[in-house]
Amino acid sequence: MTHLKRKTALLPLLLAFSTSAPALQVLDAKDGETVVAKISQKEVTRITFEKSRIRKVTGNAGEFVLEKDDDRGQVFIRPAQADSSKPINLFVSSDRSTVALLLQPIDAPSDTIMIREPREAATITPRQGRTSVHVRSIKNLLLAMAADARPDDMEVRETTRELALWPNVRLTLQRTFTGAGIVGEKFQLSNNAGTEINISERDLHKSGVMAVSLEQRTLIAGESTSLFIIRERRSHD
């Protein structure tokens, strides 16, 4: 089985690049959601919406260099420091939504990040309470889980528990983060099949789940990836 290299910084939602040509990271995101991706440390990364135009980019300007292409409604970004591995936080807005991007710089060629919005406008449900505070809590927990940090206001438990998912796909619960009304779970997802598999975050959503983040969506035979799930806390948690 291929062992993934662990990083102390943010783990990516998707890594898809080729040594011969720029790659494409496609991120499915609704308004208010946080998604994670990788960017090149030394070269520019293109960010665009699939069917919309980027209207505004908000972030800590000292952490990155930004070039705008107003004609096409896209931007190009690179870290301000070529050797920096510090994650970059951005809010990218289109006419339909604002998406939070958590970008992990890596030593890789230039890349393209395409944000794919849902066909219908995102609906805010009272049960999920999509307030700015709620979204910020999910974002902060995702960062902590990916960085193996231990939030002071949460109970963190180590575990090794196998869970049934699909045939030839092994899911191992490695760590839980339990707070007031919210639980974060870190899993290792392994492809035990003899062929490549493709997984979507949608496949892992169910009632009570607030956010799903996959390090990789495509796994070759024997490969593993990290999976993060944030859900509502239940009475027995």
Q: Report which of 3, 37, 35 is spatially closest to residue 17, judged by C-alpha positions.
A: 37
Element (H, E) at 21: none
CA distances from 179 to 66, 144, 206, 213 (A): 37, 13, 20, 19
Q: What is the pLDDT along the chain (237 residues), one digit of tens a residue?
A: 444 343 333 333 333 333 334 468 988 888 888 888 999 999 999 999 998 999 999 988 889 999 999 999 999 999 999 888 889 999 999 988 889 999 999 998 999 999 998 864 333 344 444 455 567 778 888 888 888 888 888 899 999 998 877 888 889 999 999 988 889 999 999 999 889 988 888 888 888 888 888 888 889 999 999 999 999 888 777
Three-state DSSP class for 45? strand
Element (H, E) at 143: helix 132-146
Separation between Cα atoms, residue 174 and residue 182, nearest integer Å: 17
Domains in the chain with CATH codes: 23-116 (2.60.40), 149-232 (2.60.40)
Q: Residue 151: how many CB atoms within 10 A of its CB?
A: 15
* Contact (CB, 8 A) for 53 and 114: no
What's the distance, Cα to Cα, between the start and end of the chain in Å?
A: 32
In the chain, DSSP finds a helix count (H) and a strand count (E) of 1, 16
Separation between Cα atoms, residue 215 and residue 84, nearest integer Å: 20
Phi, psi of 146 (to 5 degrees): -70, -30
* Alpha helices by DSSP H, 38-103: none
- The predicted structure's pLDDT at residue 123: 39
Q: Report the amino acid identity of residue 95.
A: D
Separation between Cα atoms, residue 130 and residue 98, nearest integer Å: 13
